Structure 1
Amino acid sequence: MKEQIVCKTTDLEPGQMMASDFGEKNVLICRTLDGEFYAFLNQCTHQGARLEKGMICGATTDQSKPGDYHYCRRGEIIRCPWHGREFDIKNEGRMLASPKQKLVNFQVRVEDENVIVYK
């Protein structure tokens, strides 16, 4: 099993993300609002955009109507900067519009103040 420290817990506030190297791969480290850490390949499944240039946001609910948006799951969705595809951080990086598609994800654990990614 390969593992590596990719950042310190203090490098990311809840709701933030950052890119880091994991061996020869570039990974996206995300910290959700509840303080949990997640890691994905820093590449959109569509055309390969670097997801670090996107944003962490929420999703609209089924109750939303045109011009009247109701949001949920704030801080749990990665939005691609190129075409707006959205990926569920807490559900293995599955795309919201097509859950069979998902980002390559990595295991994460925190020891002391180190965020460690492993595969």
Structure 2
Amino acid sequence: MKEQVVCKTTDIEPGEMMKSDFGKQNVLVCRTLDGEFYAFRNECTHQGAPLDKGMICGATTEESKPGDYHYCRKGEIIRCPWHGREFDIKNEGRMLANPNKKLPGFKLRIEDDDVIVYK
């Protein structure tokens, strides 16, 4: 099994993300507001934009109407910097607009203060 420390838990505050390397692959490590860590390939499935240049945000609910937005899931959505595609961090990186598509993910575990990605 291949594994590597990609960062320390203290490197990423809740609601933030950072890029790192796992071997030759560029990885996006995300930390949701509840303190959980997730890792995905740092590349949008649409045209390969570097997701670390985007943002972690929330989503609007189905009840939202133009000019009247109901916001939810703050700190759980990755938004692509190029075309605004949104991916659900807590649901395997699935695209909000098309849940059949998802970001390639990595297994991750925490040991002491180390965030370790592995296959």
Question: TM-score surpassing 0.5?
Answer: yes
Letter in 2 for 1:82: W
Match of 2:97 in 1: 97
Distance 2:43 2:7 in 1: 19
Match of 1:20 in 2: 20
Task: State the 1:57 CA deviation.
Answer: 0.2
Task: State the 1:23 CA deviation.
Answer: 0.3
Distance 1:2 1:33 in 2: 28
Distance 2:117 2:108 in 1: 5
Match of 1:117 in 2: 117
Distance 1:90 1:3 in 2: 22
SS across alignment from 1:10: helix
Letter in 2 for 1:116: I
Would you say how many aligned residue pairs link Structure 1 and Structure 2?
A: 119
Task: State the 1:98 CA deviation.
Answer: 0.3
SS across alignment from 2:90: helix
Letter in 2 for 1:90: K
Q: 1:13-66: per-residue Cα shift (whole Å, max 9, x none)?
A: 000000000000000000000000000000000000000000000000011010
Distance 2:73 2:3 in 1: 30
Distance 1:91 1:2 in 2: 24
Distance 1:57 1:40 in 2: 16
Letter in 1 for 2:7: C
SS across alignment from 1:65: coil
TM-score by length of 2: 0.99
Match of 1:78 in 2: 78
- Equivalence map 1:39-54=2 (5 Å): 39-54=39-54
* Unmatched tracts of structure 2, length 5 or more: none
